[in-house]
Amino acid sequence: MSRDRPINRSGARQVWWILAVLLFVVLVPTACMLWFLSAAMRNSHLAARQQLLEVCQGQADEARRAVLDHWARKRQALVAPGDTAPAAAFAAMVRQHVADSILLYDRAGRLLYPAHGALSPRPDAEPSPAWARAEALEFSQSAPDQAGAAYAAIAAESKDPNEQARALQAQSRCLAKAGNQDQAVELLTGPLADGRYRRSADAHGRLIQPAAMLRAMMLLQDARSPKARGLIETLRSRLNRYDAESLPAGQRLFLMEELARIDPNVPLPTLAAERLAAAYLEQEPALPEPGGLSRATPTDLWHVATADGTVVAIFREARLAADLAEGAGLARRFAGTDAAITPASMGEEAPPLLSVPLGRELPGWRIRVRLRDEEAFVAAARGQNAVYVWTAVLSAGAMLVLASVVAAAVGRQMRLARLKNDLIATVSHELKTPLASIRVLVDTLVAGRCRDEQQAREYYAMIARENERLSRVIDNFLAFSRMERNKAAFDLVELDLADIAAAALESVAERFDRPGCTLAVDVAPDLPPVRGDRDALVTVVLNLLDNAHKYTGDEKRISLRAFADGAWVCLAVADNGVGMTRRAVRRVFDRFYQADQRLARSAGGCGLGLSIVRFIVDAHDGEIDVQSRPGEGSTFTVRLPAGGRGGSTGAAR
């Protein structure tokens, strides 16, 4: 543990007061600067946002007019069929993308197209006796071959194209039931495909030829065969023709669905509109009031009716929003932002930058403009914010540097004060103890209170030892003073390390010549010379031996070895003392550090010996290390350059 002594309380209070003032001086301006920076950036952001809002407001007014103009053109395209067939009018408006689907009514409010409800049988659809016999054979008696022959006879004898087509259709059905699929396909694609049956219909008014084509495709079972591809193309062409066909809407939708199932890639541009109309009519909505756009019963649909109520346009919400935005050129007008046209019911995660209603023509719809990842806003404020940020960084850096300088100065003053206190206390203790012992012994001798000459000689010897101890303390303090002033002077000459060891052993011979103390010396012969200061190197050995003697118990086993190790000449001092922890090993050469203060107080010392040793060894271009474990003693090894290589640093260090 270190023998550091605390600064006096008044000094500590003064240091803490200085640190508190320093902390206040740094934190208060920093906090004020951060507040100013935050306020300045916020105001800059608001100013940039306001400027952007003003620009967007002008663009939004132009976009609103463009949207209303686009909507007006859509409304104008909703034209009553007049002399045009309702189905053709439906197809024309859908293909022109006027709406997602169209409903056509007459002025009495009756649905003209698409009417997807069930078809009632015609009044003249009562079966003849021949039909009754054929149906009985097919359904009641389960005789498809006989029923097929009966249907063929009807087709041959009838003069009505509708009845002929129906009979051929029934005959093909019976052939398929009898397992003659190929003959059934030939009948459906041959005689029944004749032009005279183009408008032939069944009892419910459904065209027979398109149904026959679908039935033939189903019997073929291979949609990739040439015959199937021809049937698909023919049926597609007929389903996409609305001008010359009287195909009922329900049958058209059914055939389109089946054809799309057989070949999903077949182009049917009106299929989605037919589906939407069917879904819309299933909800049985009330007809919209003529005028503005309104929400339909399915929540994702909107509808609008013409003034006379003959045309109802149906829109999907997402498609309508995209169409209005595209028609008004919203993406071009609001570059760098996310601009959209949305109904008022659409939820918002956060308030948009701008929201402009489109008026009574499109009630509830509005133009919403949102910043795209705040990029436009950040770009507008980035220049000013950079000035604020750099000002804050430079100011904070300057204050940090100033605070670091002041803190370092305060830290140096604290360390200097602690060092002074330690030095004063150590000097007082280390000088006072031997002087007090000498004074007592001298007073005893002067007073003549010795029993005999033997006791007097013992007192003289004790005075000599205390004087030697006092001299070592003073020498260490003088060396420490030179170390502090970096003015240690060394007289470098070539030396024999054996002579250095002998001189040191002569000085400590009396201390080690006592019961329970063993000093083993092993100096290798013919050691290479070293270049150094004789007195300084003797001091190194003396301090190491003194340290070993001080930190061993009553049974002292100490060894001094001198040996060569490659380019080094080494001195090693080992003991059986208390040893040191790894933390103590790292600090053992620090000034005033003592690993065991209890032993240090009983044996004397001020914690300067090992720091002086390292200073001298470093001045001789050498190295010193220590190996130690608690309870197992320590070994200090000094390595000096062999052959007079050392001392390159000169005499003054």
Residue range 555-588, pLDDT digits in tens: 888 999 999 988 899 999 999 888 888 888 888 8
Q: Which residue has the higher pLDDT, 390 or 248?
A: 248
- Is the same domain home to 635 and 518? yes
Tell me the range of 24-33, 228-237, 428-437 where mean pLDDT is highest. Answer: 228-237
Q: Which residue has the higher pLDDT, 271 or 338?
A: 271
Residue 124, classified by CB atoms within 10 Å of its CB into exposed (0-12), middle (13-18) or buried (19+), is exposed
Residue 135: inside a domain, yes or no? Answer: yes
- Is the same domain home to 636 and 498? yes
Q: Which of 259, 293, 327 is the last residue of a domain?
A: 327
Tell me the per-residue pLDDT of 519-546, one tens digit each, with 9 for 90 and over.
899 999 889 999 988 888 888 898 898 8
Tell me the per-residue pLDDT of 422-432, one tens digit each, with 9 for 90 and over.
656 666 656 66
Q: Are 552 and 558 in contact (CB under 8 A)?
A: yes
Q: Is the pLDDT of residue 517 over 80?
A: yes
Residue 536: inside a domain, yes or no? Answer: yes
- Is the same domain home to 499 and 634? yes
Q: Alpha-carbon distance 522 to 255, whole Å?
A: 115
The mean-pLDDT minimum among 43-52, 297-306, 504-513 falls in 43-52
Q: Which of 293, 327, 361 is the last residue of a domain?
A: 327
Tell me the per-residue pLDDT of 274-304, one tens digit each, with 9 for 90 and over.
999 998 888 866 778 877 888 887 678 999 9
pLDDT at 636: 93
Full domain range(s) for residue 183 = 124-234
Q: Which residue has the higher pLDDT, 516 or 570?
A: 570
Q: Is the pLDDT of residue 202 over 60?
A: yes
**HSE-up (13 A, CA, CB side) for residue 399:** 17
- Is the same domain home to 640 and 502? yes
Average the pLDDT over 37-52 and give the result: 60
Q: Which residue has the higher pLDDT, 208 or 23?
A: 208
pLDDT at 62: 86
Q: Alpha-carbon distance 559 to 537, whole Å?
A: 18
Residue 500: inside a domain, yes or no? Answer: yes
pLDDT at 484: 57
- Is the same domain home to 361 and 302? no
- Is the same domain home to 209 and 264? no
Distance of alpha carbon 319 from the chain centroid: 36
The pLDDT > 70 percentage for the chain reads: 73
Q: How confident is the model at residue 1 (pLDDT cuts 50, 70, 90)?
A: very low
- Is the same domain home to 492 and 618? yes
Q: Alpha-carbon distance 260 to 277, whole Å?
A: 18
pLDDT at 16: 65
Tokens of 87: 């189905």
Residue 219: inside a domain, yes or no? Answer: yes
Q: Is the pLDDT of residue 376 over 70?
A: no
What is the torsional sign of CA 238, 241, 247, 253? positive
Sheet holding 354-357, edge to edge: 337-343, 365-371, 354-357
- Is the same domain home to 582 and 513? yes
Q: Is the pLDDT of residue 618 over 80?
A: yes
Average the pLDDT over 624-635 and give the result: 89
Q: Is the pLDDT of residue 653 over 50?
A: no
Tell me the per-residue pLDDT of 149-188, one tens digit each, with 9 for 90 and over.
999 999 999 999 999 999 999 999 999 999 999 999 999 9
Residue 28: inside a domain, yes or no? Answer: no
The chain-wide mean pLDDT, for the chain, equals 79
- Is the same domain home to 110 and 253? yes
Residue 24: inside a domain, yes or no? Answer: no
Q: Alpha-carbon distance 318 to 276, whole Å?
A: 14
pLDDT at 25: 66
- Is the same domain home to 115 and 253? yes
Closest of 525, 539, 543, 526 to residue 605, by C-alpha: 543
Provide the 3-class DSSP secondary structure of residue 294.
Answer: strand
Residue 477: inside a domain, yes or no? Answer: no
Query: Beta-strand (E) ranges in 9-150?
Result: 101-105, 111-113
Q: Which of 273, 303, 327 is the last residue of a domain?
A: 327
The CATH number covering residue 173 comes to 1.25.40
| Total number of domains constituting the chain | 4
- Is the same domain home to 530 and 589? yes
φ/ψ of 496, rounded to 5, equals -95, 120
pLDDT at 355: 82
pLDDT at 141: 92
The mean-pLDDT minimum among 117-121, 172-176, 258-262, 530-534 falls in 117-121
Tell me the range of 220-224, 589-593, 644-648 where mean pLDDT is highest. Answer: 220-224
- Is the same domain home to 614 and 541? yes
Residue 1: inside a domain, yes or no? Answer: no
Tell me the range of 55-64, 328-337, 409-418, 630-639 where mean pLDDT is highest. Answer: 630-639
Tell me the per-residue pLDDT of 309-334, one tens digit each, with 9 for 90 and over.
889 999 999 999 999 988 888 888 87
Q: Alpha-carbon distance 20 to 455, whole Å?
A: 63
β-strand partners of 301: 316
